[in-house]
Amino acid sequence: PFGITAHEVDGNDVSAVWCVAGEMLEAMRAGGGPGLLVAHTYRTRGHVEAEINFLSQPYRSDEEVASWVARDPLDRAAALLIDIGLTADEIVEIRKRVRAAVDEASARARSAPAPDPKLVKSMMFSEVDAW
């Protein structure tokens, strides 16, 4: 109803997400307005590691989770890279570099000072004067 272009994609397919997002970005940059990308994916781990302690029964079967684990987006991306000529050793090195970058960013975030609570409104809304 708002005239926003929307696309759905398999969120576990890195290549598909990349292609659709790229097409949408090009359209937006060309003046096509906003877009909505719905990437269907799945949380293979529970919201809480001990969720079984909070529920009388699991809310999903082991088979359901296993079917999604088999479609892991990182494993699928690695297979695609191998298909186009990278070696397994190169994939291992890529994973190491990514892990190091994530670890460094996490450490930087954990060591950063907490934001000033007085700034909360200026960080959430575009017009602070409305308050």
Residues 20-76 have pLDDT tens digits of 999 999 999 999 999 999 999 998 887 766 666 666 677 788 899 999 999 999 999
Q: What are the pLDDT digits (tens) for 113-130?
A: 998 888 877 766 665 454
Hey, CA dihedral for 25, 35, 68, 95, is it positive or negative? positive
**pLDDT of amino acid 120:** 77
Under 8 Å between Cβ of 96 and 89? no
Q: Residue 114 is encoded by which pair of tokens?
A: 């907490």
Task: Give the span between the Cα atoms of 44 and 59, in whole angstroms.
Answer: 12
pLDDT score, position 52? 65
What average pLDDT does this structure show over 98-111? 97
Strand partners, 6: 36
pLDDT at 9 (0 to 100): 97
Q: Which band of pLDDT confidence, cut at 50, 70 and 90, is reported for residue 7?
A: very high
Rounded Cα gap, residues 131 and 113, in angstroms: 26
- Residue 131 reports pLDDT greater than 50: no
Q: Between the CA atoms of 108, 109, 112 and 117, what dihedral angle is there, to the nearest 10 degrees?
A: 170
